[in-house]
Structures are given as C-alpha cells and as structure tokens.
Structure 1
C-alpha cells in the first residue's frame, strides 16, 4: 500500500507534538516503522564523516552508542554520497551496519534496505535508514513518497540543530567553530547525570575560570578537560597534559616551569616547562592531589600573578594559561589533613565539575558498550561485533569499580576471546566472554529469581565453572593441556566440559 496524505500529515503532526527533540525523533521513527512495515528504522546525524544514531526503533539498544564511520561502512557512505533515495538490492555485497543488531532476527542478514539522506541548504545533516528481513518489503513505495518523508525528517532535524546552536551560542563557540565533538570530546550517554555534566561543561567552557574536575578513577576526567578546552576561546591553542602523580619531586619543578642550562647536574640545555608550552592555551594537571606541598605554593603564585620562573633563572616571565585540574581524591579532606593548601584548593575550585561513576549512569552502560564494540570492530578489522541479550544484562548488573576504562578493557578482552573461535570475524559476545568478578554483580531483578531453586543452582554452578576455566585459560596463554593440569582435570574431560559450557 502507498502512503496517504493523512499518513504524511500524521508524521508532520508527530514532529510538532513532541516535548523535546529526542521525543519528536522517537515519534518520527516509530511512526515510520509502522507506516513502512519495516523491522528497524533509525535517524542518524551526520558529522565529521560519520553517522551518529539519534533515535532507533527495532534495533538493539546499544546501537544508540555506536558511531558509524563512513570509511568503515560502505552502505552508509553510499547514502551520504547519493543525494537521493537509495535502494540496496537484496543481493548487494555491501555489508549492512545493522546485521545481527535487529532483535529476534540476530542470526539473519538484513535483506531490504532503504537510505534517505537528509539535507539542509544542500548540506548533508543526517539520514534515515529503513531495514527489513523480506527482500521485497518496500518495493510498493515510490521514490516520490520516500522523498516527502525525507523532507519532513530533514526539517525536524535541521530545526533541532539550529536550536542546539542557539542554546550553546557563546563567544567561545563563535571563535572556534571547528572544534567541539569532532576532536575526540564527545561524551556517549543519555542519563540524567551525563546530561547535567554536559550542561556544566557548556557553561564553564566559555568562561576563563579555572576548573577542578573530580571523580573516581576511570570515569573520563581527561575527556571532560578536552571538552572544556574545545568549547573555549583557547581551543585553537594547545591543551597541555601533565600527570602530577607520575612526577618525581626532583624534576617536578622543571617539568612545570622549565630550567636553564647549568641549573643542576644534567641540565645541558635550556628547557621550557608545561606552563610555557600552554601559553595562551590550557594546562591540564591530572591527579593534582599528588603535587608536593612545595610546588603547590609555586603553582598558587602562577595562578595569582601569571608569573613563572625557570629553575636556575633569576628572571621571571608572564604566561596566559587557563588551568584545569583533576583528582580522584577528596581534596577537602586533604586540606584538613594538611596535605593540600587551602588557598590553592579555593583557587582551583572556582567552578568544580563532578563526573558521575558508571554505576550511577543506568542505560549509558549499554550505549558505551556499543560504542566500544564498534570501535574495536573497526580497529581489529572484524565484520561484526554484536552483544547477546545475556551479555548486555551482565554488563548492566556489574558494578564497574574501574568505571568506563574498565568497561572498555572488558569489551576488548571479550572480543579477543570470542575471536579465537571465529576467524571469519562475525562475533556474538556471550556472558562467558567477560571476566567480571561475581562480587561486583548487582542482584538479579525480582522476575529472574522466580525460577526453581534447582535451575538457579545449576546456572550458578555453570557460571562459576565457566569463569574458572576462562581465567585458567587466560593464565596459561590459551594452552588447554596446561590449563587441565592446573585444574587437575583430564584434558579430554576439560574439552568436553568447556564445550558444554560454551567456552569452546
């Protein structure tokens, strides 16, 4: 059946009724999926030669966290280049980015695929993708009907982008329009905590205030610093990084302020310090709580007067540097304990920014898992990396004491384990591929506890054996004979047990 005027009018009405841009986009693709009878639809934003999903329907939740680079996805590149409706033939050899990512059809390839590029003033701003499992699913819709849909969607997306631009309009944004999210500063997530963090970054980036970034290890404090710098009027100038925890006290002053030739044994050349490198830019001092007290006093002087003095030099010079500092410590407690200067603390924390731990970010865990799956897939040259329902559930239940860094490493390890048995490069990550400590798992939802006790016992026993085998294999470099000896099992019995548990 063809699209009626009424159905197109309903799309337009839906786009007006949404309270937020996200709500309008969700209504749009939900309505489109129903009208076109598709198995999956997605609205993608185009930026920096990649497509970023804004709303999905009928696709795995982690797709929202994936970033589809044109260089790695020839179908999406064809849509970006087309300028009009794209219909991919069922026998197309171009891999579909959503293969394995449509729930209930994860073992099947997408057969019907439409791409509708979205334009504003002849500039590509996004795309709609419509996918189905039946090769003839969309044959009865004309290109003209599909073009009308793309015009409606493009108008809605362009309005959202213009509103976003107006909301974020600051002198800094106008001075450096080419920075922003394309420089590796995008924060993946839609939770309330991460949305609040993004707002705080937007507020403080346009000022020239010093910022203290707090949060646990692995939450992404350096990413926050890069985002603040990218959104500032200093974005065209250097962002210089210094890890205070890695500085021996004997060289810390030279690292910060530089030295002149002959200042000390081994000083055979003049050397500029991090402050001079960051002149007119930003200096990011990571793990600021580790800075020795003697250097804290000298850092305070720079923040107060803008003067630095190289080691061994009688002359001082002025620098114009914005300081961003980060710590996973409680600096207030360190001040009370006499381990951190109170005056420096107040100078640095003019605008404190707290980065929430991953365990407080809810569904962001799934989005980040999808982000790292796609990143690893491209880096490792794999055809497909898909998370099973069980794997997604496990990742949500885990407490992530190491936060985002631990999640990234867990995804990478799981891919390495899964790839060992799939040289063709189409991977489905299962719970057994993740080596996560049981002590850090949250309780199962109530519904999952209603199974008979015997089932729970069998599942728990299998999970325990699976983890032990995987850990032993990892410790023995994948050598099955050595693993059998460590576990005091006959190697043939170990192979049979591993096969039953899904390890092999």
Structure 2
C-alpha cells in the first residue's frame, strides 16, 4: 500500500465527519489517532498557536495521546521552549537529531516514562497552516531512537500535515458559521479586534463546564442582567469577565467592585461619585463606578452584602439608568450592563428581609450557577496542569511532572475551596518539592506527599481543639444537623456560635475578635448583623 493511500485511508473518515456535530475535542482526538495510525509513536500532541496580551507567542494543547492528562491544562510560552520555536521557524516538517541539546518540552509528561529527563529518542513535528498563517503544531515522539530515521517518515508527516491543515481549516469555518447563527455581531467584533485569547479561559471539558459555557454564549450578546452564584473559589469573577468579553460591549470598560469591602458611609460615593465639598474629605470631583462603566459592564461582586438603603438607590438606576453624584442636583444617564455575583442564597435573604425582592428580581434576570470543582469530573487535572505550567514559568524551572500518586490524590480530594484552593495547593506543592534534593538535570516531580491533601474538609469535621488553635476561642463544633435543619441553616448556626464565642472571648472588642477570626473588622460587623447577634457591649 502506498504512502498516499495510507494517508487517504486515515484522513477520509475525518473529512466525512466534518458535517457532524462532534465536539472539537473529539475531532482533534481523532486527528491524533489518524496520525498515530500513519506514523506509530509513543506520544503525540496537537497544539494551537495563540498570541498573549503582551505580544508573546504561546502554544496551547488541544489534544494529546500518550502524554499526562495535566498536559491539556498547560500553556507553553514559545520563547521558553526552543524545540517549539524551531518547529515554528522551520514552517515545515522537521526531525530533531537524536543528539540535539535542545530541551524537550515534554520532559516529565510522557505517560509511561518516569525518572530522569527523557532519554535519547526520536522527535519530529510540523506546522499546520491555515489561510497562509501558522495555526498550530503537530508533534510526534518515539522513545526508541531511529524510529523516524530516513526521509520517509518526515515526508509522510509533511503530507499528513498538509491534509490535516485542510481538515482543521474546514472544521474552523464550520464552527464560525455555527457561531454566527447565534451571535453574528459578536463574531464580527471578535475578528475585527483580532484578539482571540483576550477572552478569559474557562478551563475544563466536563459536562458541567460545557453547560456553563453554553449558557454564557447564550446570554453574553444580550444586555440582560446576570446573577452569578456559586461557592467561594469557583471563579465567579472569571465567568463575569467571560460574559463581558463575549458581549457587544467587549471593547468598553469592565469595572469591578467588591460590595463586601465597601464601608457603609462610602457606598454611594463609590457607586455614583461625588463633587467637591459633598462631604468631609471630598476635595475634588470624582466619577463613580457607574460612570466609569458607561457603555460597558459593571460587576457587583458579593452583592448580597449591600445594605437595604443602597439596594433601593441601585434599583432606581437599574430601572431608569439615571444616577446622581453626591452633592450634585443634576442627574445624568448611563448605559451599563449589570453582572452580579454572590455565594449567598439571595432568595433566602429576601425571605429573611436582608434583601429587597424587587432588587433581587432585577439582578437575577438570567441566573448562572457556577459548578463547584467536585462536580466537574475530570477537570481537576486539566486545571492542575495549567497552574503547574504557570508556576514552572514563574519559578524559572526546566520542567514539572505531576506524579501518578499526586494525580490520584488530586482526583480523590473533595476541594471545599474549589479552584482557588487547587491553585494554592499546586503552588504550595511545588515549593515543597523544591526542598527535596535531586540529581542535576533531573526534572522536578510533584508527589502526593507534596500536596499533603487531607480528606474532605467540611465544617462538621472540625473539632474543638483545632478551632481553638486556629481562632483562639473555645468552641465545640456540631457533629450533625438537627432533624429538619437544612445544610445552609446548619452552616449559619455554626457561624453564629463561632462569631459569638469570639466576641465573648475578646470582651466584645470588634477589632480583636476580627483578628482572631482572620477577618476584616467591617466584614465581621456585617456578618454579625446578618446573623442577628446583639452583643451586650460594643467596646472598641
């Protein structure tokens, strides 16, 4: 059978599947499978070229075969990986000599290889061209030296890439047409600005994340108010940024404000602005967040912390678009898209009288629930790979490998702190791994011991000794919810007892109690007010 026939047999099924509604990840996986059928090797990858906001060139893995799962979460800066740079510069199929001294970007990532950096092996790759521009790379590695010797494999790879480029280009055009059906204006704006990587990356291929991404695409092009809910650390602000980046307002301002951090006396000034002399300390005119976000997006984080008085004033702005600076009689009109976020149950807050019902309904025209990390099956390793690559680049390391026991530990952990906890855990684990001595030139392997993850960290498992050691208060943690008590009510009871005990221990001195609880004083006072705590005294 000739080489041409083999190539056609491998690629024709891919061409036949183009009209089908296959996910992109599955298309790319089948492309790699076809490559491995034509040129058997031990590891293959398809990487997409991207341009960073600072002008740097990056390569993002779209599909892998024979590499560690966390590779999909990594993002390789071309300037830091000479082999990738050489492939892009060549513009055609290139095989590296087995004695090359260029470091291999996949050191520590080949699935069935462990120990020191990759031994002498065969490595080649080729640029995929779309519309005359580098679209990405196909790379192929064989651990057996000489596997790709001679001109035959290199010519075959070049021919495969020529045909694969047409397949990739066709798939890309079909995807663009499908997107234009839902959002023609967004697509036109996207290509006009030529900044495909400006939109924040919502990493993950789980069903929960795909559903969230579909919801974002659905509502982004509208001006509907969006209420983003989810646990602490799930990435609500990242979702808000993605909504803005995919909207018609993407080239306007995205203004964010943390409502929980605003002192009650400055809320109106921060939101609506003020003029000189409006209050003590107002030495000049100042724009508020609404004016700064005119024709753009205003993100209200922790919106459940806003006092009722402010909610009423915000409601008027949401209804009419009219704002009035403090100290100024004249009103002005603003055009702002509102996105709000909270980790609270705002419907329960309405029932409890902590939130106005009309304000809540204005905010939640289109609610989005961000799934917790434990509900995103398979995404943990992708996110870990992303954070590992960022950490590797920031620390100037040659390579990082996520060992098999570490992968198992990450998958088994409950992640009560969600993505934020995972990011901190990865950074901490790398620092722990750096303390271990290792032979010169050997890549750094991060193990389960470096992560030191405990089983599910839930409040009910905290004993009195650990609470006292962490917060300096005597407290007996509840062991179970009372009959008929919801989880949210049990957590509120837990918070109430802990805050009350801290206040009693420190003589109702707010500053001292806040320090003991690792909180800001103003946030502690808001929490105490929400929990209905009425201390006997209010000593400073």
Equivalent position to 1:160, from 164, 167, 171:
171
Task: Verify the 8 A CA contact 2:373 2:418 in the aligned structure 1.
Answer: yes
Question: Could you tell me how far apart the structure 2 residues matched to 1:389 and 1:184 are?
Answer: 32
Q: CA deviation at 1:179?
A: 6.9
1:434 matched residue in structure 2: 451
Task: Verify the 8 A CA contact 1:384 1:426 in the aligned structure 2.
Answer: yes
2:12 matched residue in structure 1: 13
Post-superposition CA distance 1:224-250 (Å, at most 9, x none): 111111111111111011000111111
Q: Matches of residues 39-118 of structure 1 in structure 2 within 5 Å?
A: 39-48=42-51, 49-107=57-115, 108-109=117-118, 111-118=121-128
2:407 matched residue in structure 1: 392
1:198 matched residue in structure 2: 213
Matched residue pairs, number?
440
Moved more, 358-367 or 71-80: 71-80
Equivalent position to 1:174, from 183, 188, 191:
188
Task: Verify the 8 A CA contact 1:173 1:233 in the aligned structure 2.
Answer: no
Post-superposition CA distance 1:138-172 (Å, at most 9, x none): 11424332221001211222122222222222212
Task: Verify the 8 A CA contact 1:179 1:230 in the aligned structure 2.
Answer: no
Q: Calculate the TM-score normalised by the size of structure 2.
A: 0.78
Task: Verify the 8 A CA contact 2:414 2:455 in the aligned structure 1.
Answer: no
1:36 matched residue in structure 2: 39
Q: Matches of residues 174-323 of structure 1 in structure 2 within 5 Å?
A: 174-177=188-191, 178=193, 182-183=197-198, 185-323=200-338
What secondary structure, in the 3-state scheme, does the structure 1 residue paired with 2:197 have? helix
Post-superposition CA distance 1:187-242 (Å, at most 9, x none): 11100110111111111111111111111111111111111111111111110110
Question: Could you tell me how far apart the structure 2 residues matched to 1:323 and 1:138 are?
Answer: 57
Question: Could you tell me how far apart the structure 2 residues matched to 1:173 and 1:9 are?
Answer: 33
Question: Could you tell me how far apart the structure 2 residues matched to 1:439 and 1:227 are?
Answer: 30
Change in CA separation of 1:439 and 1:121 when aligned onto 2, cut-off 3 Å: closer
Q: CA deviation at 1:3?
A: 6.2
The CA RMSD measured in Å over matched residues stands at: 1.8
Consecutive unaligned residues of structure 1, counting only runs of 5 or more, are 442-504
Consecutive unaligned residues of structure 2, counting only runs of 5 or more, are 52-56, 459-540
Q: CA deviation at 1:404?
A: 0.3
Post-superposition CA distance 1:454-489 (Å, at most 9, x none): xxxxxxxxxxxxxxxxxxxxxxxxxxxxxxxxxxxx
Question: Could you tell me how far apart the structure 2 residues matched to 1:182 and 1:293 are?
Answer: 39
Post-superposition CA distance 1:273-304 (Å, at most 9, x none): 11111111111110111111111111111111
What secondary structure, in the 3-state scheme, does the structure 2 residue paired with 1:266 have? coil
What secondary structure, in the 3-state scheme, does the structure 2 residue paired with 1:283 have? strand
2:138 matched residue in structure 1: 128
Task: Verify the 8 A CA contact 1:219 1:357 in the aligned structure 2.
Answer: yes
Q: Calculate the TM-score normalised by the size of structure 1.
A: 0.84
Q: Matches of residues 338-417 of structure 1 in structure 2 within 5 Å?
A: 338-417=353-432
